[in-house]
């Protein structure tokens, strides 16, 4: 499934950062409790510098279709942990 591969591509980059998932979530949320989907996308493409590995369209599809994010405008720590725990560990 393309979504799992998408998550693993991001997880491989995130696994290089020290700390647990709460600290890694801070990369996206800048220390806040939540992050908007737009800021999440910006972080993937720009801050993690993955624009050559992941297309903006892929991020949009993921944010619209992921089971934890459907009908939400924000991502919280619980969502992040649900999505990335298995891939990062």
Report pLDDT for 64: 95
CATH of the structural domain 2-88, one choice from 1.10.10, 1.10.238, 1.10.3470, 1.10.357:
1.10.238
Confidence of residue 47 (pLDDT cuts 50, 70, 90): very high
CB 61 within 8 A of CB 1: no
28 burial via Cβ count (<10 Å: 0-12, 13-18, 19+): buried
Of 85, 78, 45, residue with least CA distance to 62: 45
34 burial via Cβ count (<10 Å: 0-12, 13-18, 19+): middle
Is the predicted pLDDT of residue 89 greater than 80, yes or no?
Answer: no
- Report the mean per-residue pLDDT for the chain: 94
Give the predicted TM-score (pTM) of the model. 0.90
Domain parsing of the chain, residue ranges: 2-88
Each residue's pLDDT tens digit, 13-46: 999 888 899 999 999 999 999 999 999 999 999 9
Q: How far apart are CA 27 and CA 30, in angstroms?
A: 6
Report pLDDT for 2: 86
């Amino acid at each position: 499934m393309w979504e799992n591969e998408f998550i693993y591509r991001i997880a491989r980059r995130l696994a290089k950062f020290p700390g647990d998932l709460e600290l890694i979530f801070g990369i996206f949320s800048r220390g806040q409790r939540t992050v908007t989907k737009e800021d999440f996308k910006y972080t993937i493409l720009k801050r993690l510098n993955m624009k050559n590995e992941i297309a903006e369209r892929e991020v949009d599809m993921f944010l619209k279709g992921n089971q934890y994010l459907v009908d939400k405008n924000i991502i919280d720590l619980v969502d992040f942990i649900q999505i990335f725990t298995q891939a990062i560990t």
